[in-house]
Amino acid sequence: MNTKVRTVNIVTGKSISRRAVLRGLGATLALPLLDAMTPAFAQPRSVIAPVHRFQTFYVPNGMAMEYWTPPTVGRNFELTPILKPLAQFRQQMLVLSGLKANWNIAHAGAGGSFLTGVTEGGKNEVDILADVSVDQMLARELGKQTQLSSLELSMDAPAHAGACTVNLSCVYTHTLSWRGQREPLPMEHNPRAVFERLFGDSGSTGQAAREARFSEQTSILDAVLGKLNGLQSKLGAQDRHLVDGYTESIRSIEQRIQKAEEQSDMELPELMQPAGVPPVFEDHLALMQDLQVLALQTDLTRVITFMMSKEQSARPYPQIGVPDAHHPLSHHNNNPELIERMSRINTYHTQLFANYLSKLAATPDGDGSLLDHMTILYGSGISNSTNHSGDNLPILLLGGGNGWMKGGQHLHFPNEPTMADLLLTLMDQYQLPLDRIGGSSGRLSLDGASA
């Protein structure tokens, strides 16, 4: 990659490279899209062809379907309790119902087939088998233009040994991403590791490296801020404002990570011990969301796979009045009181997801926002969780889709197509058509004709 920074010269018409970065002392600062990245006398950045990004946002343990599924189809569908937090994004949302899981074997099939569409997997805890997942198919192509082909992130520490469900490998509950049939990709849950992957190259997140960082009392950004200040003096007012906000976001994220690391050994109430760091779930999630926005804003990657929690997650949510462990609660035996309690967790997840959508919508990107130029797949690989049902999966598509998506609709598919059919259809939207994905049998109509 050419890392030489070129600033605009109103005489020569030269401009900053779209992929320009500032480097120094192990730190790398990628730049957001600026007006200065178009030649002088040319149109502003709004005329640069927008990039179509893809993200998966996965929620575990199924859904309280009575509180999820709209009772009517088409454009006038009713926002159900779980969907109400997404009301402001209604016109950029497709609610899909009637889709089936391709591999329906408890929690292993839920995660293992969600992005692969496979109809079967391994047979025991050491037999690992799936197929290339859609995010990695896209990463192979979209990643040719970015520093990182993709990011695989989770709120839980990875576990790829032992059995986690029906005597199958924990791989299936801890990742959605597969590079090959026997190549599951680990999901990163540590914000520090994500930050350094995006902006630094220390090569280690171990205890010794952390202690060295603290003793230096120096920000990873300090090495490049001098260069950045020099660059800003040559930018226009709008670009300077954008770069100021961008660097402040990075500085804020790093400070929050450092604070979390300092508090990592603090004693917590028994019910407030989510897996991962920072110790408070919402703080951890906010950091992970902000890192994803920065990665997309700077075009470091165009593909992100994110798990709100792993399948079989036992995380409790006392902060919303649900002290029950999530996974046991999901086996509610159709008890209305327990289903209602489960729905509160599902609703809280959509509230937290809405926060992320708001950040994407507030981040300029060309002639629109990051959200305008994304297709986001939200949902779970299980519907009624009490019996691990793979029928009528809870699935949403959100974002502007870079122009293709006709949102504001609930589309129901009565002929029970599968998730693999949806994945096959989504590949078409990236001009990467395939004959088949996993157990797919055809493409879906997502323009409303199938409603």
CB 314 within 8 A of CB 326: yes
Q: Is residue 211 exposed (0-12), middle (13-18) or buried (19+ Cβ within 10 Å)?
A: exposed
Report d(CA 156, CA 276) in Å as an integer: 6
Report pLDDT for 284.
93
DSSP letters for 13-65: -----TT-EEEETTEEEE----GGGS-TTS--GGGSPPP-EEEEEE--S-B-G
Report pLDDT for 31.
67
Among residues 211, 189, 228, 192, the alpha carbon closest in space to that of 28 is found at: 228
Number of H helices, E strands in the chain: 11, 17
Mark out the alpha helices in 270-367 (DSSP H runs).
Answer: 281-297, 326-330, 336-361
Q: Kindly report the pTM of this predicted structure.
A: 0.80
Report, as ranges of residue numbers, the positions in the chain whose pLDDT lies below 70. 1-31, 33-48, 160, 200-230, 232-234, 238, 241-242, 245-246, 249, 252, 259-277, 449-451
- The one-letter code for the residue type at 389 is S
- The one-letter code for the residue type at 127 is D
Report pLDDT for 214.
46
Q: Which residues contact 321 (CB under 8 A, 6 or more apart)?
A: 344
What is the fold, at CATH topology level, of the domain defined by 52-189+304-451? Alkaline Phosphatase, subunit A (3.40.720)
Among residues 150, 130, 123, 147, the alpha carbon closest in space to that of 139 is found at: 150
Q: Which residue has the tokens 């990657």?
A: 301
pLDDT tens per residue across span 280-335: 999 999 999 999 998 999 888 999 999 999 999 999 999 999 999 999 999 999 99
> Would you tell me how many other CB atoms lie within 10 Å of the CB of residue 406?
14
Q: What is the mean pLDDT of the chain?
A: 84
Report d(CA 379, CA 350) in Å as an integer: 10
Q: Where are the domains of the chain?
A: 1-48+192-274, 52-189+304-451
Report pLDDT for 182.
92
Report pLDDT for 270.
35
CB 385 within 8 A of CB 330: yes
Report pLDDT for 342.
98
pLDDT tens per residue across span 243-265: 776 677 677 677 777 766 665 55
